[in-house]
Amino acid sequence: MRTKMDKIAIIDFGGQYTHLIARRIRDLNVFSEIYNPEEFSLDTEIKGIIFSGGPRSVNTTEAYRIDLDIANSPVPILGICYGHQLLAYMLGGQIDSGNKTEYGFTEIECETDSKIFSNLATNQQVWMSHGDHVAQLPKNLRVTARSENVKIAAFESDDGKFFGMQFHPEVTHSLSGQQMLDNFLKVCQAERSWDSQHFKELLIGKIQKQAAGDKLVLLLSGGVDSMVALRLCIEAIGNDRIHSFHVDTGFMRQHESVELAKHFENLGFQNIEIIKAENTFLKALKGVTAPEEKRLIIGRLFVEIANEELGKLNLQQNWKLVQGTIYPDTIESGSTPKAAKIKTHHNRVGEIQKLIDAGRVIEPLADLYKDEVRALGRELGLPEHLVERHPFPGPGLAIRVICSATDKPQDNYRKETAEIRQMLHQFDLEGKVLPVRSVGVQGDFRTYHHPVVCWRNKENKDIWKHLRSASVKVVNNFKTVNRVIFSTTPVTELHMEKLYLQKQNLDELRQLDALMRELTDKIDEIWQMPVVQLPLIDKFGKRCYVIRPVVSTDAMSADFYEMPTEYMNKIINMAKQKLDVGYIFYDVTTKPPGTIEWE
């Protein structure tokens, strides 16, 4: 598949961004390969080693280790996050597990005579996601960067062979992160010979080999991932051996299934059946409120429907299932040997895992990120308006309704409200903790915590700066919170209500989602904008919602979009009046600590 070339070895300690590190290195034209620490051994092609992040603490007996004589390593080693702590520990440093957690944007002060920070400004904005930190270094290491909370944000050895970064340079929100990685590659003196221009041909060849003589079956959501997967399969084996199903679950966006049918026809896709299964899904999910249970039931139903349709086609056993799974989906499902599960992707439920284990699933996009899938879609000739569609989760609106089986809070969510309010006052904000919870990712672990809603207590022209700072500080200091949302007006009364997946409230969500997409369709910076229905009503009995416009390229990290405040107020007020709904909150949480979807 490839000739011998210089490469960087990335040791996977279970971090959510391990594959993103590999991706960034390849973007710099150096081949990279991921290794499990237990199976790693040096070879002559390896010109440098990177220790990834991970969910464990170096100080515990369960910590991930590597059997490597690093003191005599012939190649440079860079540690990132957990890898930074592990490297310092292996060289004789001390790691503390304390309260100095940092999630999201952080400013560091760098020593620019460092090889890693060469030709960079002294002050850098970087992306943090950690609990532990390096408290003390051995004599042969020196501090090269520090943040407000952590005195050792980066280090390097006197001989220029070992480097550590507490932050994540591989994440795009570390603004100079790619230059830092490039500087590490310069230290490694790795040849820049990796070229991915033949990637399309490699994937087509892989599909041909995996398909062999079998027919292929696809479940088409209508998103860019599944359409690119289908186009690749058509290029590989032609239309005749491919059967595709689009399942209208009742959780699609407004008029989406009808529009998709037209797109499929215009693209020349053949053998596609639209299956109306709204009643089936609503019946199976009746009374279900837990996010993981919803995802598992939806994934199981997809497989059952596929099996039923395959029975009608009389394909017997000579078929394989093709999925448009991309790498972030597998990461959040805990797919790498040491990664923590954030949430089960519907393509990773038990029934599908059995098919994967039996070798009957093809996932041509499983090593790609969203921006790479889009680029591949363009290469395959898909229209730009389809390539750039906002991502939409396979379970659809089912995971954008935060269900509740009770109208009473289930835990003491108010206990930290006084302290949080005091902290918000520093930013001219007022606020409180809400009695609902959402999924997040903090320090490479899944969290299921409360959001804080805040609003202005005085006029402030630089509201986004205040919200960004407040969001980071609140989430970093309160372990029961993983998300901050903003209200354009003061929040008075809010009451919990029972909320389930029912057609009436799904239709209400569909209407608001359609209106918000229409009002923000021309804003190119918005990569995706989930609209979330909450089990909360205002004092007039009107249901409350959250909009989450995010900026991202690969879904592994995301920032909230700083919408012009006048326009934000305009669209929120318009939606409230037109659809007669309650508060519409604006999510101002980065990823991490909040996942893009709330469930």
Active centre residues (catalytic) = 81, 168, 170
Position 419: which residue type?
E
- Would you state the structure tokens that stand for residue 330, as one six-digit string? 């597998």
The burial of 418, by beta-carbon neighbours within 10 Å (0-12 exposed, 13-18 middle, 19 or more buried), is given as exposed
DSSP string covering 105-124: EEEEEE-TTSSTTTTS-SEE
DSSP H helical ranges for 325-416: 327-332, 350-357, 370-379, 384-387
- Would you state the structure tokens that stand for residue 271, as one six-digit string? 């053998």
3-state helix, strand, coil in the chain (%, to 5): 35, 25, 45
Q: Helix 370-379 and helix 199-211: axis angle, to 10°?
A: 90
What does the alpha-carbon distance between residue 63 and residue 80 come to, in Å, rounded to a whole number?
15
Beta bridge partners of 416: none
The burial of 404, by beta-carbon neighbours within 10 Å (0-12 exposed, 13-18 middle, 19 or more buried), is given as buried
In this structure, are strands 584-587 and 133-136 parallel, antiparallel, or unpaired? unpaired
What does the alpha-carbon distance between residue 252 and residue 255 come to, in Å, rounded to a whole number?
8
Closest to 361 measured CA to CA, from 399, 330, 406, 390? 330
